[in-house]
Each structure stands twice: as structure tokens, then as C-alpha cells.
Amino acid sequence: MKLARSLVSKTAPAYVQFYLTSRCNLACEQCNIIYADASAREMNIGQIRKMAENLSEIGVCIVLLIGGEPFVRRDLPDIIKAFTDVDIHVRMQTNGLASREMLESCIAAGGHDISISLDSLRPSLQDTINGGFNKSWDRALSTIATVNEIFPDNATAFLNSVLMRRNLDDLQDVVRFATAIGWGVSIVPAHVSSPEEPRGFRAFDDDGVVGFPREVWPDVRRSIDILKAQRKEGLNLYDSDEYLEDIYRFVTGQPLQWRRRNGGVCDSPDLYFAISPNGNMKVCCDYELDTSYPVHHPDFPTWYRDGRIHGETQSFTRACGGCMYGSYPEITISARYLKPMIERFLHFNVKPPKLQKLSVAELRDIAATILFERTGEMEDRNKPGSADREMGTIRV
């Protein structure tokens, strides 16, 4: 009900992305967060508790704990509890670093919603996308198995997949895999930036493996059409048709349509915004405000309500050509288009996917079968590939 009121009134943020840290044990090709936010000092738990109170006061419904890799913070369960204590729903995100012990602590703190990054069912390709780290795909599968085993029956789990030049034919496999194991899928197209202007989720595409040159546009079109057909078949692809069509427009440089019912701008900060590791409010994951507005500051609710934040944010949103960072477009679409709003309600409240308790071996078999049915090939995990680095641990 709180979320519904937010989407209907559009006067309280439904959703906030909180970048806990820029630290990460991977170096994914499509992510520059370790560069974009590297200078931002992380908040302590006291500041985060105050921030959670302020977010609750202005009506925030959902917070996504993102990074970097959120699970490098050993106080993550305390961070989750800071939000659940004030009735804010928490979604955790991980690349597979999460240990069983940490996941159990997060569940005890009230975290029952998780997403894991997975871009392919081909282990060697996933390892390459993740920066050349051996067995990062295996680590993600192990975490998926743990989630399915220990999370409560009413838990929500998603695979986050980035559409990029390397994996145009792979996302249909990920959707089939997710459906088989009781997960959902959310897709984001790769965004490209430059070293002169690094942004958190915009890749440096020096090698030409992330972006979408004109010659691959027909392949992108085919991929989008397959994904839409999978949605029609009832597979667990969260994204709306409206959003999927805008992925193609984004890739091919056409004007985006998801903002057309709001004067061609996004809904930040009315429905969503982002927070950097140091607690400063951001327009989104791309843009910092010129003025510093620490969300943990006692006056933040006043700043939000008196219009100063909105005025400064709109100077960015009016000039922005638009992004396709999944959650932002989909929340606007859900708030402004009736059909997607109904689909969201049904997905989360009437027919939510049910996690299937499967072992790692069973997950591997499902993935291998899906891959074989499409390609006729079985990948040999013992065959040397392009991934040559071991997945590291991070001292906290």
C-alpha cells in the first residue's frame, strides 16, 4: 500500500539506490563504479541509521543496496536492519561474493529480497565479462543455490543481466534458467562513457566489446523480439514491453519514449534518486548535484520538501537525453502506464515466482541443458579460456 500510494501520488520516492561502497572483487567490463565513486568515503552505521530515518520520513518504500559489491561491508546486516526497522523494504545486490553466513545474518536482519548479476550461462563468457576472473560464474551459482535453500518462501530473487555485444544471444538462456529455478530477470543495456567523464554504470569500451555498433543492431532487434516472446509465454522476465522497446531505441540512438508522459524528463527526485557512499544525494547513478545534500543530515527532510532539491535536480533531468538503467525507467513506466502497473502487482502479490531448492550440481545441469538446447554445445569447464584470474577477497 505504501508503494502504491507513492506510485499514484508521485510525491514521495518509491525507490532509492544506495551505493554502499565502490569496492569490488571483480572488474566487470560494463561497470566503472570503482572509478566513478572511488573518492567517496563510506558512511558509518550511525550515519546510515540517521539516513534511513530521514528516508522513511519522506516516504521511501524500497532501498536497493548496491556497490561496488555490498557484501564487502561486514556490517551489512546492521545496515539492512537500519532500514527494516523503519519499515523500508531492502533489496540486496551481489555478484556472488555473499557467503552463507552473511546471507543468514542478512535474512535475520529482515533482508528477504536479493539480486545476483548473471549475464550468460556460458561460464567462460561470464568469467570474461567479470574481468577475467576464473570461476566467478561458479561462485554466482553457488550463491544462487544457497539463496534458494535458506531464504523464506515469500522471498524475492532476481538475476540482473546486462545486454552487451558479447551476449546478445545469451540473455534468452538466462531467462529460461531463472524461470526454471523460481527467479525473475531484469535486463539493462550496457551504457558507454569515456575516461574523461567516468560514470558508475557506463563502460569504457576501448576494445569494442560492450557497445553496439550499427552492424549489430539487427542482432539487438532479434534479441529484443525473443525476450518479448518469452514474456508473452509467461517466462519470468520482469521488464515491460515498453521498457524492452526503449532498449532498442537506446541502442540505436533513437529518442526514448518512457519519459513522454512526464514532459520528456525522468521522475527524479519525486519517485527515485540515488545516494553515494558518503551519503550525498545524487540525481541518479550518473549525476551528482552541484550542492551537497547529505541524506543523513537532520535537515534533509526539510530540504527535500521545500523544493530546493527538486529545483536543482530538474536542471539535470531537463538536459539529460535519458538512460536505460532498469529500475528508474520501470518505476516511471509502472507509475504512468496502467498495464505495467497491473503486471507489477500480479508479479509481486498474486503470482510471485517460488524459489526452487536445488543443489549447485542441479543448477549446473539445468544451465547446461538450456545452453545445449540452443547451441548444441556443452562447455568444458576444464578447458583453458580467457578468464585467468582468481576471484579475490577484499579486506574490510
- The residue extents of the domains of the chain are 2-390
- What pLDDT is stored for residue 26 in this prediction? 86
Q: How far apart are CA 43 and CA 300, in angstroms?
A: 16
> Closest Cα to residue 135, out of 144, 143, 126?
126
DSSP 195: T
Q: Pull the grid cell for residue 20.
A: 554502499
**How many CB atoms sit inside 10 A of residue 233's CB?**
11
> Closest Cα to residue 184, out of 238, 263, 246?
238
How open is the CA angle 359-130-122, to the nearest 5 degrees? 50
- What pLDDT is stored for residue 195 in this prediction? 72
Query: 151-192, pLDDT tens digit by residue?
Result: 998 899 999 999 999 999 999 999 999 999 999 999 999 998
- What pLDDT is stored for residue 97 in this prediction? 86
The CATH number given to 2-390 is 3.20.20.70
- What pLDDT is stored for residue 198 in this prediction? 67
- What pLDDT is stored for residue 386 in this prediction? 43
> Cell 540512438 belongs to which residue?
253
Query: 352-370, pLDDT tens digit by residue?
Result: 789 999 999 999 999 999 9
Low-confidence ranges of the chain (pLDDT < 50): 382-387, 393-396
Query: 116-140, pLDDT tens digit by residue?
Result: 999 999 999 999 999 999 999 999 9
Coil, strand or helix: which one is 32?
coil
Is the Cβ–Cβ distance between 119 and 170 less than 8 Å? yes
156-163, strands of its sheet edge to edge:
184-189, 156-163, 113-117, 89-94, 62-66, 15-19, 272-275, 281-282
> Closest Cα to residue 210, out of 192, 229, 197?
192
DSSP 262: G
Neighbour-count burial of 271, counting CB atoms closer than 10 A to its CB (0-12 exposed, 13-18 middle, 19+ buried): buried
